[in-house]
Amino acid sequence: MAFVAITAGKPYVKKDNIAVGDVTGVIGLTGVAQGTIAVTFEEQCILTIVSNMFGEKMEELNEDIADAVGELTNMISGQARRELDEIGKVFKAAIPTVVTGKKHSIRHYGDGPKIAIPFQTDGGNFTIEVCFDR
């Protein structure tokens, strides 16, 4: 849908709450465990993705970009929840929150480790973070 090739990097345990991107969608999850999924995009990455999706060049972070980040966060968490549901792990999701700004904080609602998976695209990078209660 976004017409970008994505390459996954090596997952790692994230030690701080500082976003590696400039705009982040965070969604709370409840069910077999409680926690959050965050999807954080570098500015150029999300501008490229949304430009491709809308068919027009986006040049700055604005309300349309924030809305798109919320929707992409919903879509990513929804796909993950569908796959987990197939193996009997049922989760419900809240409405995503979007935070923007250089070096903003991501507040996860779980107390377990924060697992981060970096992704690269031709337009920039994004990272998915997952954190659940222990």
Distance CA(12)–CA(62), nearest Å, equals 30
Name the residue range of residue 84's domain. 7-132
pLDDT on residue 109: 84
In a domain, 15, yes or no: yes
Confidence band for 62, pLDDT divided at 50, 70 and 90: very high
In a domain, 101, yes or no: yes
CATH code for the domain in which residue 22 is found = 3.40.1550.10
Distance CA(132)–CA(28), nearest Å, equals 10
Count how many domains the chain has: 1
In a domain, 110, yes or no: yes
Q: Answer whether 0.85 is exceeded by the pTM.
A: yes
The percent of residues in the chain predicted with pLDDT above 90, rounded, is 89
Confidence band for 111, pLDDT divided at 50, 70 and 90: confident
Residues 117-134 have pLDDT tens digits of: 999 999 999 999 999 998
In a domain, 2, yes or no: no
Is it the case that residue 82 has pLDDT exceeding 90?
yes
Read off the tokens for 57: 């060049």
Contacts (Cβ under 8 Å, ≥6 apart) of 64: 50, 54, 58
In a domain, 106, yes or no: yes
Residue 18 DSSP class: B
Q: What is the largest CA-CA distance in the chain?
A: 44
In a domain, 39, yes or no: yes
